[in-house]
């Protein structure tokens, strides 16, 4: 009797798909397609044009610059990544005459809030392109005076009552991915001309009134700070702005870090990253673009209280006892700045241990770059 029951049960299970009971056993169409194996590729008839193939998930070529091919390697646990480096969520940064708003949020959530700022202040917009993150205002009529007075006249329209002293102002806002993954940088550029003048604007990266630029930048920053607390809004068009300004590049002779920044900012970014990551900087050569550092494989960029108290594992003052001296080079390559690392003793530079040490320091610098 048991064998008869078992035989009938197996027969029912095997015929589930025939009698439509497979859905009751959790067998989805996707699962059945996967179990059936791969299908033949789609063939386009000869009388039709074959569309251009775009690989959405390309597999890059592996560059074995360490010479590890064919070796057996025991892979341990990955190093823990920290996402809290003491950087506030919204900060106004400045380097020389350049200033921008740093936001530790993706561009897709910042762009809708920037557009709302102009709408709520009834400031007309001439150009709006979320795909490149650019917003340009119309020529706005404002008064003369200090930045606060000018800004108040722009949003209130009070400058029309005194046309003799009125001027025209135009603004350009750029929303760009930041150096750190998932962050955003917001820039403002301002131009002005006399009322009635037909002078064409030329966006060259500098504002006619630096103080007015700073006023609008800080106003937008405070506005975004209030809006962020209300919850995120996402722009699907702006979601394409994801490429970070810092990326690791693998070449035949090793790994390097690429910054899509001007050289002065890249130099300051590397110095700040080394400081925030508690890497000991022994010396620096601004003329030849070199940081001289001491770094070890056991370096802890975020040590606990007692480690900092005793000066161990990445303390600010004392370098690790087993640390090695390295040179961090920066090279201006035109559209980007390349960062490479070499050992103090070039003759020991090609060992696997030193290659891994250099890679870890590069990744650490990228991780702490803001």
**Tokens at residue 132, please?**
């490149």
Q: Does residue 63 belong to any structural domain of this protein?
A: no
Residues 135 and 276 placed together within one structural domain of the fold? no
pLDDT tens across 235-260, in order?
A: 655 556 667 789 988 877 788 999 99
Domain finish residue from 203, 224, 240: 240
* Prediction pTM value: 0.69
Residue 12 belongs to some domain of the structure:
no
Q: In terms of domains, do 290 and 198 share one?
A: no
Element containing residue 157 per DSSP (H, E): none
CATH number at residue 189: 3.30.530.50
Q: Which domain holds residue 323?
A: 246-367
Residue 15 and residue 5: Cα distance in Å, rounded?
16
User: Which of 211, 240, 269 lies at the terminal end of a domain, its last residue?
Assistant: 240
pLDDT tens digits, one per residue of 141-153: 988 889 999 999 9
User: Tell me, what's the pLDDT at 249?
Assistant: 87
Q: What's the alpha-carbon Rg for the chain, to the nearest Å? A: 29
Would you say 121 and 156 are in contact if contact means Cβ atoms under 8 Å apart? no
Three-state secondary-structure class, residue 184: strand
Q: What span, in angstroms and rounded, lies between the C-alpha atoms of 246 and 267?
A: 13
Q: Please state, in angstroms and rounded to a whole number, the distance separating the CA atoms of residues 204 and 264.
A: 18
* Residues 164 and 187 reside in one and the same domain: yes
Return d(Cα 326, Cα 56) in angstroms, integer: 39
**pLDDT computed for residue 344 by the predictor:** 82
Residue 81 pLDDT > 60, yes or no? no
- Residues 6+ positions from 10 with CB-CB distance below 8 Å: none
pLDDT for residue 52: 73
Task: Assess whether pLDDT exceeds 70 at residue 79.
Answer: no
Does a structural domain hold residue 305?
A: yes
Residue 154 lies in a domain: yes
Least reliable range by pLDDT among 64-68, 155-159, 353-357, 362-366? 64-68
| CATH code assigned at 300 | 3.30.310.170
What is residue 320's three-state secondary structure? coil
Asked whether the predicted pLDDT for residue 19 surpasses 50, the reply is no
Q: Contact at 8 Å (CB) between 121 and 131?
A: no
Residues 212, 273 within the same domain: no
Report DSSP state, residue 208.
Answer: S
139 with 234, same domain: the answer is yes
Q: How far apart are CA 203 and CA 189, in angstroms?
A: 8
Residues 330, 333, 337, 343, Cα dihedral to 10°: -30
Judgement on whether residues 118 and 234 belong to the same structural domain of the protein: yes
DSSP lists the bridge partners of residue 92 as: 101
Shared domain for 152 and 211, answered yes or no, is yes
Residue 32 lies in a domain: no
Query: Do 251 and 357 lie in a common domain?
Result: yes
The verdict on 172 and 251 lying in the same domain is no
Sorting pLDDT into bands at 50, 70 and 90, what band is 370?
A: confident
Question: Are 352 and 268 members of one domain?
Answer: yes
What's the DSSP call for residue 49?
P
In a domain, 14, yes or no: no
Domain limit, last residue, from 220, 240, 260: 240
DSSP state of 215: H
Whether residue 2 lies inside any domain: the answer is: no
Q: Please tell me the predicted confidence (pLDDT) of residue 7.
A: 55
DSSP designation for 132: T
Same domain, 309 and 216: no
pLDDT at position 218 over 70: yes
Looking at the fold, whether 214 and 289 belong to one and the same domain comes out as no
Given a cut of 70, is residue 321 above it in pLDDT?
A: no
Domain count, the chain: 2
H-type alpha helices, the chain: 2-14, 16-19, 29-35, 107-120, 147-156, 210-228, 263-276, 305-310, 352-367
Summarize pLDDT for 90-124 with one digit per residue, the tens. 888 888 888 999 988 888 888 889 999 999 999 99
């Amino acid at each position: 009797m048991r064998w008869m029951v078992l035989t009938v049960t197996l027969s029912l299970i095997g015929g589930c798909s025939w009698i439509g009971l497979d859905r009751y056993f959790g067998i989805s169409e996707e699962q059945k397609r996967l179990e059936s194996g791969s299908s033949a590729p789609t063939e386009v008839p000869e009388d039709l044009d074959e569309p251009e193939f775009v690989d959405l998930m390309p597999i890059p070529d592996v560059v074995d610059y360490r010479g590890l091919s064919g070796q057996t390697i025991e892979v341990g646990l990955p190093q823990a990544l920290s996402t809290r480096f003491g950087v506030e969520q919204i900060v106004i940064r400045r380097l020389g005459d350049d200033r921008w708003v740093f936001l530790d949020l993706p561009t897709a959530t910042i762009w809708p809030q920037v557009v709302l700022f102009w709408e709520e202040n009834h400031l007309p917009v001439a150009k709006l392109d979320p795909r490149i993150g650019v917003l340009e205002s119309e020529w706005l009529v404002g008064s003369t005076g200090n930045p606060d007075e000018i800004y108040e006249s722009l949003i209130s329209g009070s400058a029309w009552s005194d046309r003799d002293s009125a001027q025209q102002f135009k603004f350009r806002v750029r929303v760009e991915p930041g150096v750190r993954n998932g962050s955003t940088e917001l820039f403002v550029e301002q131009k002005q001309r006399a009322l009635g003048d037909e002078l064409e604007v030329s966006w060259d990266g500098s504002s006619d009134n630096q103080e007015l630029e700073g006023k609008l930048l800080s106003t937008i920053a405070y506005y975004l700070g209030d809006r962020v607390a209300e919850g995120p809004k996402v722009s699907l068009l702006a979601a394409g702005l994801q490429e970070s300004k810092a990326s690791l590049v693998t070449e035949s002779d090793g790994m390097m870090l690429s910054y899509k920044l001007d050289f002065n900012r890249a130099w300051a970014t590397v110095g700040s990253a080394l400081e925030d990551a508690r890497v000991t900087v022994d010396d620096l050569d601004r003329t030849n673009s070199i940081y001289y550092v001491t770094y070890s494989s056991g370096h802890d960029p975020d040590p606990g209280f007692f480690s900092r108290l005793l000066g161990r594992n990445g303390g600010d003052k004392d370098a690790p006892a087993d640390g090695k001296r390295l040179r961090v080079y920066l090279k201006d390559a035109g559209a980007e700045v390349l960062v490479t690392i070499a050992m103090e003793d070039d003759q020991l530079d090609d060992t696997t241990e030193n290659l891994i040490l250099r890679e870890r320091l590069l990744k650490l610098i990228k991780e702490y770059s803001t």
